[in-house]
Amino acid sequence: MKSAKTHEFHRRKVDRDGSCLYESFRYVNGISDSIDNTRLRCMVADYIRKHEYLHLTVLQSGTQCETVESYCSKIEKGKLWGGEPEIRALAMLSHTLIRVVWKKKPVQGKYNITI
């Protein structure tokens, strides 16, 4: 992740438990002590429910959820990994520009970095 305040990359290992987006967000923004992943998930779900511009993205996310409400319920229960709708909601809630950097090592041994 890149902090907009310091323009430095932060790298930290997080558990792959479905809350890695929320854990990373809390770490980079220095709010790990003031809010937990459960509360942050509820805030994201509430934001998505209230903002129709995210509804189509939610319904086309490939999660098999047939309604926005069922999608948001799964967010709150920790049954969905963070994707585009959640990243957009976190960005809007925190008034933060979020750039996702994906680093992948292909078979040839060279790293691909996608932003």
Residue 10 neighbours by CB under 8 Å, 6+ apart:
1, 2, 3, 27, 28
Question: How many CB atoms are located within 10 Å of the residue 69 CB?
Answer: 13
Q: Residues 47, 86: contact at Cβ < 8 Å?
A: no
Q: What is the mean pLDDT of each run of 10 residues along the chain (115 residues)?
A: 59 82 90 94 97 93 91 94 92 90 72 66
Q: What is the number of helices (H) and of strands (E) in the chain? A: 5, 2
Per-residue pLDDT, 3: 52
Beta-ladder partners of 2? 9
Per-residue pLDDT, 7: 60
Per-residue pLDDT, 5: 59
Would you kindly state where each structural domain of the chain is located, as residue ranges? 20-114
Q: Residues 61, 71: contact at Cβ < 8 Å?
A: yes
